[in-house]
Amino acid sequence: MNLLASLTRPEYIFRPAQIVRRVKCQFKPSTAHYETVCLPWGLPIRVEPKEELGALIRRLGVYDLHACEYISRLVDPGDFAVDVGANIGQMTSLMAVRAGPSGEVWAIEPHPVPFAELEYNTTVWNQDSGSAPIRAHRSALSDHSGVAKLVVPLSSGGNHMLAFLADGSRASSPDEHYEVQLRSLDELVGERRGIDFLKVDVEGHERQVLEGSRRLLASGRVRDILFEELQTPPTSVTKFLESVGFAVFRAAGTVSGPTPRAIDSAADSLVHGPPNFIATRDSQRFLRRMAGRGWTALRNCGHAHHPAGGNAVL
């Protein structure tokens, strides 16, 4: 893809200043181990420019705009939001901004390398009086408690987003492994308040995470779920969610904004974007929130940028 064609994206059209940053990234690669980037909603995030996620945030200003937009429109002030598979916390920070100081956010990440950056970033964000307090958990969610191996494929090239929980056939593979603690979301949350917004991105382990949330789901204590699904619906995940009372939509979008689709829509194959889906207990609220055009996630919420060390990309 040539540079001109790549600039016809909402990340650039709705934030023209990002074009200048993109050109700088194109012609002046970073040599720093860390850089601090100001996210569109006003909070800083420390990234590794040579790692895949860090490079994307540095170049685009935001990673996975579609998912961020659905978070931005669905998380309300005072909400309790949980980010399962938080990585370094970009989407965690958006949840915290939208939930505000009366809300609460939990970020769950098992991989020790991005978790160290998640801890660093959340320490900075927790100093922001306009955001919800964030609690970081280093664990992997599943349908049971115990210990498992997190596999980092040798072919990943250091891309932390490709790590996954091993099954029997991969547990003894030559790939890099980390021993991680397994917990269920039911166990982690206990009898406290319900979850208003839940994001699950765990590289194919989504069904097990949801199975470990049966008590929460059966009691109606989860309102909205954003999840990744690499297979074409209906899948075991979408059928499970529908069986416990959720309506499921494809979290798609065009250049002009979000365009949610029914998962059995004939037009679904024509919609571009990451394989994200939304499950909701309140379809009317969901569709009402998605009605406006534009990208709310690309608007600064009035947060001041406070560089957190490294070389700031402003």
Q: How far apart are CA 159 and CA 153, in angstroms?
A: 9
Q: What is the pTM of this model?
A: 0.89
Tokens of 149: 């191996």
CB 105 within 8 A of CB 135: yes
**CB atoms inside a 10 Å sphere around CB 73:** 21
Maximum Cα–Cα distance for the chain, whole Å? 53
Q: Which pLDDT does position 75 carry in this prediction? A: 98
Report the pLDDT averaged over residues 180-207: 92
| CB contact burial 186-217 (16+ within 10 A = b; e otherwise) | bebbeeeeebbbbbbbbeebbbbbbbbbeebb
pLDDT digits (tens, 9 = 90+) for 251-266: 988 899 999 998 875 4
Residue with tokens 């059995």: 264
In 3D space, the residue among 132, 138, 133 whose CA is nearest the CA of residue 114 turns out to be: 138
Name beta bridge partners: 2. none
Phi-psi group of 50: left, alpha or beta (phi > 0 → left; psi -120 to 50 → alpha; rest → beta): alpha
User: Could you write out the three-class secondary structure of 198-243?
Assistant: EEECCCCCHHHHHHCCHHHHHCCCEEEEEEECCCCCCCHHHHHHHH
Report the pLDDT averaged over residues 30-45: 92
Q: Which pLDDT does position 273 carry in this prediction? A: 53
Tokens of 49: 């420019």
In 3D space, the residue among 124, 72, 80, 126 whose CA is nearest the CA of residue 102 turns out to be: 80
Q: Which pLDDT does position 307 carry in this prediction? A: 37
Q: How far apart are CA 227 and CA 248, in angstroms?
A: 10
> Which of helix, strand or coil describes residue 280?
strand
Residue 186 has pLDDT above 70, yes or no: yes
DSSP annotation of 130 reads T
Domain range summary for the chain, segments of one domain joined by +: 3-313
Report the pLDDT averaged over residues 154-174: 59
Give backbone dihedrals phi and psi of 63, rounded to 5 degrees, phi first. Answer: -105, 135
CB 127 within 8 A of CB 99: no
Give backbone dihedrals phi and psi of 198, rounded to 5 degrees, phi first. Answer: -125, 125
Residue 171 has pLDDT above 60, yes or no: no
pLDDT digits (tens, 9 = 90+) for 70-120: 999 999 999 999 999 999 999 999 999 999 999 999 999 999 999 999 999
56: Cα within 13 Å, side-chain hemisphere = 11
Q: Which pLDDT does position 154 carry in this prediction? A: 63
170 by Cβ neighbours in 10 Å (0-12 / 13-18 / 19+) ranks as: middle
Domain 3-313: give its CATH superfamily.
Vaccinia Virus protein VP39 (3.40.50.150)
pLDDT digits (tens, 9 = 90+) for 1-29: 555 666 778 999 889 888 888 887 777 77
Mean pLDDT, the chain, whole residue set = 86
Q: How far apart are CA 72 and CA 250, in angstroms?
A: 16
DSSP annotation of 16 reads T
> Which of helix, strand or coil describes residue 43?
coil
> Which of helix, strand or coil describes residue 31?
coil
Q: Which pLDDT does position 169 carry in this prediction? A: 47
CB 240 within 8 A of CB 210: yes
